Each structure stands twice: as C-alpha cells, then as structure tokens.
Amino acid sequence: MKNVLRFISLLMLLLAPGFLLAQEAAVVEVADQVVAVTASADSGNTAWMLTATVLVLFMTLPGLALFYGGLVRAQNVLSVLMHCFAIACLASVLWVGVLYSIAFADGSSWVGGLSKVGLQGVGLESLSGDIPETVFVMFQMTFAIITPGLIVGAFVERMKFTAILLFTALWLVVVYAPVTHWVWSEGGWLFARDTIDLAGGIVVHATAGVSALLLAYFVGPRDGFPKKLHVPHSPGMVMIGASMLWVGWFGFNAGSQLAANESAGMTMLVTHISAAVASLTWMTIEWIKTGKPGLVGIVTGMVAGLATITPASGYVGPLGAILLGFLAGVVCYFMCGVVKEKMKIDDTLDVFAVHGVGGIMGTVLVAVFGTAAFGGLGEFNMGEQLVTQVIALAAVVAWSAVGTVIIVFICKMTTGLRVDQEVEHTGLDQAEHGETAYHFE
Amino acid sequence: MKLIKAIVKPFKLEDVKDALAEVGVEGMTVSEVKGFGRQKGHTEIYRGSEYTVDFLPKTMLEAVVEDDMVDVAVKAIVTAAKTGKIGDGKVFVIPVESAVRIRTDEEGGEAL
C-alpha cells in the first residue's frame, strides 16, 4: 500500500506543474491562434489521421494485450491484459501532461522545451502541418502507449504491478520522449542529420527492445527457466491479438506519412508484403527444424516482418519489402534462440529478438533496400546513409540502456522488482489483481 | 464385485463404451484426467524453445461389475482401446466391498 501511495504522489508531482502552467497560458494561446487562422486543416489528411490514430490504439488495446496474454500461463493472463491497459492509461495522462512537450515542443536538439506542458497552446485552431495539432497529439500518443506496452513481454509472470507502473512512467520521461524528440521533432539532432525512421524502428522498436532485454536481465528469469517452463495457455488468443496488430500496423506505418497520399499507399503495400513474407519464412524454418509448422510461430514471424519494415516503409519498394520480410523471418527466429539459450536471458515473450532486432535491422537496411538499385524510393547515398543510420542507432541504444539501468535501480530501491516465489507459482491474477481468468464450474 | 478402472486415450472412449455395453456392462463413470507412465509426457516447441508437457490428457473410466463379468469386461476394454502405440493406457481391477442403489435401497449385485 505504501508503494502505491508513493507512486501516485510521484505521478502527481510530475503532472502538477503542467496543468498549472496550462491555465496561465490560456491568455497566450489566443495570440498564437491569430497566426494559425491563415492556414486551415486539410480534411482528407485529417480524416485519414483520425482513422490511423484509432488503428494504432487498437494495436495495444486489445491487439498486443491478447497477443501477449495468450502466450502466458492461464493464471497470469489477466495480469498481462491489465499491464497493457494500465500502461495505456498512464502513458495517455503523462503524454498530455509532460511527454508531448518533451518530445515535440521547441527546445534544444536534445530535448523539447516545456512550452507545451499540459498541452498549453494546443487549441482548436492550432495545426501540425496541415492536420489539427490535436490529431497529431493523439496520433503520437498512441505510439507512446504501445512502446512501453511492448516491454511488458520481457517481464510477464513475475514483475510487481507497482514496479511496472513506476518503470513505465519514468521510462517514458527519460527514454521515450527525448528519443522521439531526437528523431521525429524538427529540432532534434538525429532529425537534423536526416536519419530515416518513418514509423519507429528506432523510436519504438529499438528503444523498447533494448530496454526489454535489460529489464528482463535485472528482473531475472521465471522460476523454472529454461528447462521447466509452461506452454502458452492459448495460442488461439495469440493469433487473434497478432491479427489485430497486423491491421493496426497500417495506421502505424501508413499513418506516419501524416497524409492520405501516394506515399501512404506505398507504405501500406510494403508493410503488408513484409508481414506476409516474414510469416511464411518463419513457418518454413520451424517446419524444417521441428517438423511442424506452428500457429505461434507463423504469427511471431508476422510481427517480426512488421517491426522490421517499420522504419523502412515509405522508402523501400515491393522488392525491398520481400527482402526485408525474408530477413526478418530468418534473423529474428535465430535471435530468439540466441537470447534465451546463449545469453540465458529470459526475455519471456522475445521482445528484443523480435522487436528490437527487427527494428534495428530495418533501420540499417533501409539505407540499402531504400536505394533505386532495389526499387527503393530514397534519394540518398547508400554509404552515407548507412553511417547516419548506425550513428542514430548507437546513440539511441546507448541512451535506452543507460536510462533503463538507472530506472531499474530506482524501482529496486522503492517498489522492488519481483513478486515473491509463492505469488509467482499461484499466478499474478489472483495475487496481484484478485481475479481469475477461467472459472470452470 | 470388482471395480474396473481403465485409463485410456481420450479418442478411444466411444469405442470402449460401446464394447462394454455389448458385453453387458450397464453403467460407468468417466472423468478427464492427466498423467504419465513410461511415455513421460511430450515436448512442444514454441519459437524454437522446447517446453516439456509432463502430464498428458487421458480419460479414466470406472465401472463396477459382478465377479464373473470381470474377465470379459477387461478383455473388451483392452481390445477396444488398443492402438499398439505408446500411451495406450492401463486397466486396474479392485475389489469392492458393497454397493447401494440410492433410489431403491437395493444392495450388492442388485444395485449394479
């Protein structure tokens, strides 16, 4: 109980200045709007961005929640759904409070300023490009929701709920919002270096993947890892969630063009191709290696294909999408084994192997497959762009790692990371949330 | 009276039930159970990692019969449940002290 109170007061502290400032800023807002009146929103683009926002939220709720929920034991499925849902709500409140400003307000090249804390100055008339800024705020918010949601896969079945909330809140402030500023805000230093990351190979998948790997390491493996593990309790649920991710990903990638235009069309096309090729690739490898093509395998391949094409969509053509999809299937499949068997880290639902590796691979390879030689649309020099991409990745991976380690330390000192062994055996649903998923009576 | 306790593969239940009905066994109780014998469970592979499933689903069938019915009933079960592959199951025969039919208060063999 003490931990809960401590967490809530911390959250209040973080948010309070934002809302106070927002009230004071109401006067200034009027002046800003006068400038904005000359331009107006494009209704076609706005309609698409409203739709894309819905699709990306749908990826987390319930897509990712079901995808992850089906992979755990029956005694833990509710806890996973709860993690995704609570993180979605927490990220939303923080986004409005401070994160949007840190990510997108004018500031230094390292971090946005506090001028948009509490969404001050974001009114009915304000625009972001040719869409309303409110829509841009919402669209980007759904990215801030799914990214810490992805990390859930690293610690399922054993991390304390209080620790999860505290980790998520701090991680969004320390890692996610600054990195978003670097890469996607016009003032960011990686943006200025022409780093390519259309929809979040760096911002979403590399940050989440690297942080997940480290968090899994610090939380420690599930009891029984790696020899005595329980099978996924509902592969059917995994497939349903994964399919929602696939559909939602069109909003994620094609929406990241911020316009309903020919680029968005191409982005959607290559996104789909990569997912399909990666699914078949993963299925085939599994078929050859284990003798049976599995459902969990084919849908995991799909997620790998989508994560990999994410930074590159919009720059590669269909040929590049096929190549990226194929490599996603092969490399991510083998990385699952590397993390669990060689590194002995229980990144339980393979967040690093699938999202981290996929996102990093796509970020590097867009410099190759995005060129005209591979039917790509990018107008850059392959060698120079490769260097740019690798520098961006190195910086973001290092920042994510350092940030995660510091936050883990804070959580250890305050909430503690892990539930006790008895709770882990009984399952988190009953112990942490007082509910049971399946009553057979 | 004897209790026949048979643990069989779930998909063989229908065949075993029909075979027992044919030799005159008039009632039985069936439960879904889990267990292992020399087969020792099986492995499932998800994303390249092997998971061992120790307990396999089986069906347990219980029927109480008169002593002179035991051999023919056991034979019926064994014949019907056999696939010849590992994991076919087992049949146990256990002595039963008494039996009562609740509706009529009949006892012993009358109650079966």
Ordered structural domains, chain A, with CATH: 44-433 (1.10.3430.10)
Q: If pLDDT is split at 50, 70 and 90, which confidence band does B47 have?
A: confident
Q: If pLDDT is split at 50, 70 and 90, which confidence band does A14 have?
A: low
Mark yes or no for CB contact A297/B53 under 8 Å. no
Mark yes or no for CB contact A289/B48 under 8 Å. yes
Q: Pick from A343, A336, A394, A334: which is nearest to A364 by CA?
A: A394
Question: What is the structure's pLDDT at A424?
Answer: 95
Chain A CB contacts of B51 below 8 Å: 229-231
Question: What is the structure's pLDDT at B100?
Answer: 96
Mean pLDDT within A224-239 = 91
Secondary element (H or E) of residue B62: strand B56-65
Question: What is the structure's pLDDT at B39?
Answer: 73
B52 Cα to chain A: minimum distance (Å): 7
Which of B48, B51, B52 comes nearest A336 by C-beta?
Answer: B48
Mean pLDDT within A126-143 = 97
Q: If pLDDT is split at 50, 70 and 90, which confidence band does A383 have?
A: very high
Question: What is the structure's pLDDT at B31?
Answer: 97
Proportion of chain A above pLDDT 90, given as a percent: 88
How large is the greatest C-alpha to C-alpha distance in chain A, in angstroms? 68
B105 Cα to chain A: minimum distance (Å): 31
Cα separation of the two ends of chain A: 33
Mean pLDDT within A189-198 = 97
Q: If pLDDT is split at 50, 70 and 90, which confidence band does A186 have?
A: very high
B62 Cα to chain A: minimum distance (Å): 22
Chain B CB contacts of A290 below 8 Å: 45
Chain A CB contacts of B40 below 8 Å: none
* In the predicted structure, residue A440 carries a pLDDT above the cut 80: no
Residue ranges of chain B whose CB lies within 8 Å of a chain A CB: 44-49, 51-53
Task: Write down the H helix ranges in A225-317.
Answer: 235-254, 262-290, 295-309
The mean-pLDDT minimum among A185-199, B8-22, B47-61 falls in B47-61
Residue of B nearest to A282 (CA): B47
A239 Cα to chain B: minimum distance (Å): 13
Q: If pLDDT is split at 50, 70 and 90, which confidence band does A10 have?
A: low
Chain A CB contacts of B44 below 8 Å: 231
Contact A158, A62 (CB under 8 A): no
B2 vs A119: CA distance, rounded Å: 79
Which of B46, B52, B53 comes nearest A294 by C-beta?
Answer: B46
Chain B CB contacts of A228 below 8 Å: 52
Structural domains of chain B, with CATH: 2-111 (3.30.70.120)
Which of A227, A228, A333 comes nearest B48 by C-beta?
Answer: A333
**Residue B82 backbone phi and psi in degrees, to 5:** -75, 130
Proportion of chain A above pLDDT 70, given as a percent: 91
**Residue A135 backbone phi and psi in degrees, to 5:** -70, -40
Q: Pick from A200, A50, A176, A163: which is nearest to A111 by CA?
A: A176
Question: What is the structure's pLDDT at A5?
Answer: 58
Given the DSSP bridges, would you call strands A127-128 and A131-132 parallel, antiparallel or unpaired? antiparallel
Mark yes or no for CB contact A294/B51 under 8 Å. no
Q: What is the pTM of this model?
A: 0.86
Which of B44, B49, B53 comes nearest A340 by C-beta?
Answer: B49
Mean pLDDT within A68-91 = 98
Average per-residue pLDDT for chain A: 93
Question: What is the structure's pLDDT at B44?
Answer: 85
Angle subtended at Cα A152 by Cα B47 and Cα A426, rounded to the nearest 5 degrees:
85
Chain A CB contacts of B48 below 8 Å: 286, 289, 333-334, 336-337, 340
Question: What is the structure's pLDDT at A26?
Answer: 45
Mark yes or no for CB contact B49/A336 under 8 Å. yes
Chain A CB contacts of B45 below 8 Å: 286, 290, 292, 294
Contact A61, A221 (CB under 8 A): no
Test mutation, B46, B51, B53, B55, chain A, max A CBs within 10 A: B46
Mean pLDDT within A405-409 = 98
pLDDT in tens, A349-369: 999 999 999 999 999 999 999
